[in-house]
Chains A and B, each alone.
Chain A
Amino acid sequence: MHKKIISMLQVAVLLLCCSGCWDSKDINDKAILATVLLDKQNGNYVFYVEVAHTDRSGGPEGQSASPEKFTIIRGEGKTLIEARDELDRRLKYPIYISAVRSLIITQNFAREDIAEYFNRLRADVEYRKKVISVTTDADPEELLNIFGREESVGLYIEKTLDQMTSYRQMIRRSSSIFIESLSSKYCGFLIPDIGINQNMIDVKGFSVVLGSKVVGFIPANEWNGIIFINAGRPEIEYVIPFEDKMLTFLISLNNRDIKPTYKNGIVKFDLKFDFKAELQYTSGRCPCKFTEKQFDQMSDIITSVLKKDIEDAINTSQRKFGGDYFDFNRRFHAAYPTQYHKMSWDKAYSKAEFNVQVKVKTKELKMFDYRAHGAE
């Protein structure tokens, strides 16, 4: 019996080392951040945080509730630490960072160095590593006040990117991927870029990060190739001119096979894409059923369009930005680890050869068969 009591006391003492009632802090006694925005103004680091306004409706019934759900707090300093200190001095409660939905980095900040903040994010155990990171060239205060503080901007951005990902039109990358990339030998990745368009938040394209800073921008109308190379199972609609009509196809990627080879100091990638193209509808009156020959012709057209998109995306990375932001380096590293460590991936990638093979299977879907109703 004595042994049992001693064992239980030992467990209790050990528990006190893990956690205790002194660690407890009620959720309502914390400043819950929904969005963090990083900016650089006149050489100073600036933090903008969107703090949930939890006091607005709390209280006995009958008290009027404020419509503002969030408060924007600004902190500035010569270093990130100073900026954060100023922020802390302006907040009523200690910062609760686990609820941050989006990390917005302005182009001013991102063009100089994003590594420091991502390293800070890695070191902070309370920061969710799955937080969404985006860049923006919009004015921070205009962006954070776009909904009149009645809705969280960070939450809106996260939902927007989530819905695009669920419709298979976006590459969803959490901050942990960026942290991982920043700590590896070669660093290149894409961050979604948002802006304000007609007083609405808009995903404008991708910011290209090479090394530890943003080096360029790819607009949304040029990102199809990138999506096909990197997204999980992308689905994008294409409008293809065929004979005298415009045909709308839903292109979905069935299978993607990327194989690196290394011969005579040349890096070569074989990219095989297997697409399914479903004819959704056409312009004008729908014809009778398309013949197999016509479908073959359509497949050829779609194949050439998709191939061009993919090749253009790769060419842009090689020629315009001179860097790999598709994660080809990981595939090569996995296949040729020794050679990878000896080479400079920057140089090898710019000279790399890409053999893109696209296969498209076209099928008709949801088309009307007029002949079935007596039409000629």
Chain B
Amino acid sequence: MSNAEQRFNQLTNYLIKQNLDMSQREIPFEGGRLRIFFIKQIIDVPLLSQNVIRPLINNCARSKKPITAEHALNRILFSSVCSVSKDDAAIVDLLLSGNVVILFSNDEQYLIVKLKRIEHRNISEPEIEYSLRGSKDCFIENLDVNISLIRYRIKDNMLRLKMIDVGKRTKTRIAIVYIEDIASDVLVGEIQKRIEDINIDGIVDSGEIQEFLLNKKFSLFPQMGLVERSDFACRLLLGGRVITLVDGSALALSAPATFLEFFYSCDDCYENKFFGMFMRIIRYISLFAALTASSLYVALTSFHTDALPSDYAILLAEMNAAVPFPSVVGAFLVEFLMEIIRESLLRVPRRIGSAIGVVGAIVIGQAAISSGLFSPLLLIIASLSLLTSFVVPDYTLVNAVRILKFILLLFTCLFGFYGFSIFMCLILAELVSINSFGLPYMVPLAPFNRYDFFRAFMENNTISPFRKKYMHNKNRKRTRKI
């Protein structure tokens, strides 16, 4: 028995012992045999039959000479992506990655044919970045499809993809996408380094990657943006940002992300610029209202009643007259109820979600007022707080606000407006102290940058031909001056 055949038998036994739910097919030829190994669940089986097995059988039957891996690669196979290798240790990984491995009894080299095919859902409409005017295609769980969506929009030879595998067990493919002559090298290098430094057994979603990439591990505020829509991802790439796509995740990550950018929506760019500006101002006010509405209510009704105009004071007193709880307790209870309804609506199937919404509205709205359990104004304020939290496009920022709202309420309940002011100062201090990949979080407000400050309200390519100054892009100009 030759060395090659001995090795062939050893490898075959080894692979069979691995218990990978592997399929195999042996084809004899003149002076030897070949064995095809594959995992049928992750490869395209019809393509395997058509482009690999069929030509191999035909050639093996006709050929009077032994067939080698090189010969099969160059003369027999119809597959577009195939190669030869000698590295025995890599065979298992190759099989698990959706490759077909063909061993030859007369050759130390083996053949690798890429026929990966993973079942995935079709491209669907966005769920967390809904837009009226923008395109409706969004990322799905398949990395190749996601890359194709970006390449479809940006046909630039400067578009770069850096592929990194993360996770000892999952070997999740991660793509760092950027435009080379726009994005800062430092930024790209930093993201790449942080991803390469991740040492973990497995990653299954972009959310886990995000946790590893954070500058400040214990900050409530998101330091990377979530991107669901491919058009928005392309806009970000053109703005000099870096997009991180994770295989198996339908949400991409954008970096760096500043506080004000969490208020941007695709529609701002597509609609009239004044409307875009108006909507941004509405979103800024909404987030502030979501954070402070119930705390201000408690401060005004329980501590600093003298700040109320007389008419309102009388009206408020009338509304609260029959309420059994103090405003403080009422505010906490109603806010908790609102959070419970919000959470239940997120977790239940869509079809019964609307029913729960109705029940929640009836229980909290109608019944609570009728029974005199809560003040109508408190319910209005809590509802306003809930509604305004949905105005901000990126829900990760709102999640931070949802927690901070309760702490602010607690401070206000303890110390009135003093507590309110102190905690708002603490929030502000936190906001100005964090950064996203070296970029101050509150830029262009702190540090102040007049050029970008105005563009925080009105961003339009016809008004400004430049990209944002604070991004330190290689190429700042976007359009010719009109």
Contacts and interface: CB of A to CB of B under 8 A. Distances in A.
A101 B303 CA distance: 21
Interface string A1-39: 000000000010001101111011111101010100000
B310 A99 contact: yes
Contact of A26 (B301, B310, B322, B419): B301
B352 interface: no
Contact residues of A: prevailing secondary structure: loop
B320 A98 contact: no
B423 to A, nearest CB: 10
B301 A27 contact: yes
Contact of A96 (B305, B369, B416): B305
Nearest to B416: A19
Interface residues of A, number: 33
Interface string A72-102: 0000000000000000000000001011110
A30 B319 CA distance: 13
B414 A28 contact: no
A28 B419 CA distance: 22
Contacts of A101: 310
A277 B292 CA distance: 52
A126 interface: yes
Interface in A124-159: 126, 128, 155
Interface string B287-326: 0000000000000011101101011011011111111001
A44 interface: no
A24 B328 contact: yes
A244 interface: no
Contact residues of B: prevailing secondary structure: helix
A166 interface: no
Contacts of A25: 302, 305
B158 interface: no
A18 to B, nearest CB: 5
Given A19-B303, A58-B322, A60-B322, A27 B316 contact: yes
B317 A32 contact: yes
Given A28-B321, A32-B313, A19 B418 contact: yes
B199 interface: no
Given A21-B328, A21-B413, A26-B301, A15 B419 contact: yes
Contacts of B415: 15-16, 18-21
B325 to A, nearest CB: 9
B387 interface: no
B337 interface: no
Nearest to B426: A8
B454 to A, nearest CB: 36
A11 B419 CA distance: 10
A52 interface: yes
Interface string A255-289: 00000000000000000000000000000000000
Given A19-B416, A21-B413, A96 B313 contact: yes
Contact of B302 (A24, A55, A98, A126): A24
B301 to A, nearest CB: 5
Given A24-B328, A60-B370, A96-B305, A32 B314 contact: yes
B371 interface: yes
A55 B321 CA distance: 6
A245 interface: no
Nearest to B310: A99
Contacts of B313: 27, 32, 52, 96, 98-99
B20 interface: no
Nearest to A11: B422
A147 to B, nearest CB: 15
15 contacts: A11-B422, A15-B419, A19-B416, A24-B416, A26-B301, A26-B326, A27-B316, A28-B321, A28-B323, A52-B318, A54-B317, A58-B318, A58-B322, A61-B369, A61-B370
Interface of B: 301-303, 305-306, 308, 310-311, 313-314, 316-323, 326-328, 369-372, 413-419, 422
Closest 8 CB pairs of A and B: A58-B321, A98-B306, A99-B310, A58-B322, A28-B320, A54-B317, A59-B322, A24-B302
